[in-house]
Amino acid sequence: MKFAVELTEKADRDLRNIFLYIKMDLCAPAIAEKQIKRLWKAILSLDELPERYRRYEKELVLCQDFGQLKYKNFQFLV
């Protein structure tokens, strides 16, 4: 069964900022492109079996049901 993967505006903005930081601040446009492609691939993979990631258990979101996807130095609430 396929699930819809939706990004919040903040998540989208965060991904853009990651890209710009790597591209501009680190002067590594090729690495920025590869990293963002990898991040998007990981995020979009949530359309199948999103429950494969453990639940996120921080105080701020205990009232909601989130999982977490960790990819390299990044963490996503799913």
Q: Which tens digit of pLDDT belongs to each residue from 29-46?
A: 999 999 999 989 988 888
Instruction: Give me the pLDDT at residue 34, please.
Output: 94
Residue 63: the pLDDT is: 47
- Domain coordinates of the chain in residue numbers? 1-53
Q: Which two tokens stand for residue 8?
A: 């919040």
Predicted local distance difference test score (pLDDT) of residue 62 = 46
Q: Write down the pTM of the prediction.
A: 0.66
For tokens 């130095």, the residue is 73
- The predicted pLDDT at position 67 comes to 67
Task: Give the per-residue pLDDT at 66.
Answer: 60
Tell me which residues of the chain have a pLDDT lower than 50: 61-63
Separation in Å, CA 70 to CA 15, 17, 60, 66, 67:
14, 18, 18, 13, 10
